[in-house]
């Protein structure tokens, strides 16, 4: 019997500060927390630091920026790590890569831009699942791809799960794309989702 651990916060950002390498402040004390299943929207003018705040939740700082204060804590879920918290900014690059896409992921404003237009969507979803060790077999990953595709079918555009799986990113709407990006994600920088095996 598996015991489920109730996670109060999947992601906690506390007093995050980011400056340029020349010392100009970019983020000044950003704080937020996201519970499992909760959606958080970061809203602001162009250049106000929304993307910087989202990428910082992954422990990534673009060239010319540096972390100057605050913490980012993610709660790992799945496997033996249920409920374990990890300080994202204290991890080395290898540790952050392991965390990204599995525990926390960034979903850009235009998710289709982050996909490979030469590969079918179903294949790209499957690659993410395989990379992050989802499932015990290719058949289990294929079934998960089918569930993700079913959940992302958009009635307004009359798209179907099969059509989404076999289409290229260029053939999908942004509404569909934002739904199927990062299917393995448990806690996203802007929203969180249930465990992959719960759907």
157 domain residue, yes or no: yes
153 and 98 both lie in a single domain: no
Same domain as 150, residue 69: no
Rounded Cα gap, residues 151 and 124, in angstroms: 16
Same domain? For 98 and 174 the reply is no
The total domain count for the chain is 2
Claim to verify: residue 65 and residue 129 sit in the same structural domain: no
Residue 198 covered by a domain: no
| Polymer length of the chain | 199
- Same domain assignment for residues 115 and 86: no
Question: Residue 173 is part of which domain span?
Answer: 111-180
Domain assignment present for residue 194? The answer is: no
Q: Are residues 15 and 101 in the same domain?
A: yes
Q: Which of 144, 147, 120, 115 is nearest to 130 (CA)?
A: 144
The tally of CA atoms less than 13 A away on the side-chain side of residue 41 is 3
Residues 119 and 73 in one domain: no
* CA–CA distance, 54 with 133 (Å, rounded to integer): 24
44 and 98 housed in the same domain: yes
Domain match, 152 and 83 both = no
Strands 65-75 and 85-87: antiparallel
Closest CA to 98 of 184, 3, 4: 184
pTM above 0.85, yes or no: no
Angle at 37 between CA 5 and CA 141, to 5 degrees: 80
Give yes or no: residues 57 and 37 share one domain. Answer: yes
- Of the residues 105, 130, 159, the one at which a domain ends: 105
164, 172 contact by CB (below 8 A) = yes
pLDDT digit string (tens) for the chain, length 199 residues: 444 445 577 889 999 999 999 999 999 999 999 887 787 888 888 888 988 998 998 899 999 999 999 999 998 765 444 568 889 999 998 888 878 777 777 777 666 667 788 888 888 888 888 887 888 898 998 888 888 877 766 554 445 556 655 666 655 544 444 444 444 433 333 333 333 443 3
Any domain includes 17: yes
User: Considering the domain boundaries, does residue 192 fall inside one?
Assistant: no
Query: How far is the CA of 128 from the CAs of 34, 115, 123, 161, in angstroms?
Result: 23, 11, 9, 18
Report the alpha-carbon distance of residue 184 to residue 193 in Å, rounded: 9
Flag whether 124 is in a domain. yes
Task: Answer with the one of 105, 129, 164 that is the final residue of a domain.
Answer: 105
Q: Are residues 28 and 96 in the same domain?
A: yes
Residue where a domain stops, chosen among 105, 123, 146: 105
134 and 100 in one domain? no
């Amino acid at each position: 019997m598996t015991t489920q651990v109730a996670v109060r916060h999947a992601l906690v950002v506390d007093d995050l500060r980011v400056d340029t390498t020349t010392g100009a402040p970019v983020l000044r004390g950003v704080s937020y927390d996201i519970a499992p299943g909760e959606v958080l929207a970061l809203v602001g003018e162009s250049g106000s630091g929304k993307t910087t705040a989202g990428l910082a939740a992954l422990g990534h700082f673009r060239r010319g920026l540096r972390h100057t204060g605050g913490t980012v804590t993610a709660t790992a879920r799945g496997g033996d790590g249920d409920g374990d918290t990890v300080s994202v900014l204290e991890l080395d690059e290898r540790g952050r890569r392991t965390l990204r896409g599995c525990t926390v992921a960034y979903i850009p404003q235009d998710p289709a831009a982050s996909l490979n237009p030469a590969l079918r969507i179903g294949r790209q979803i499957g690659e993410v699942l395989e990379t992050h060790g989802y499932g015990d077999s290719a058949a289990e990953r294929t079934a998960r791809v089918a569930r993700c595709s079913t959940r992302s079918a958009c009635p307004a555009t009359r798209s179907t799960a099969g059509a989404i799986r076999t289409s290229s990113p260029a053939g999908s709407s942004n509404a569909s794309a934002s739904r199927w990006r990062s299917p393995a994600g448990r806690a996203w920088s802007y929203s969180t989702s249930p465990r992959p095996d719960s759907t």
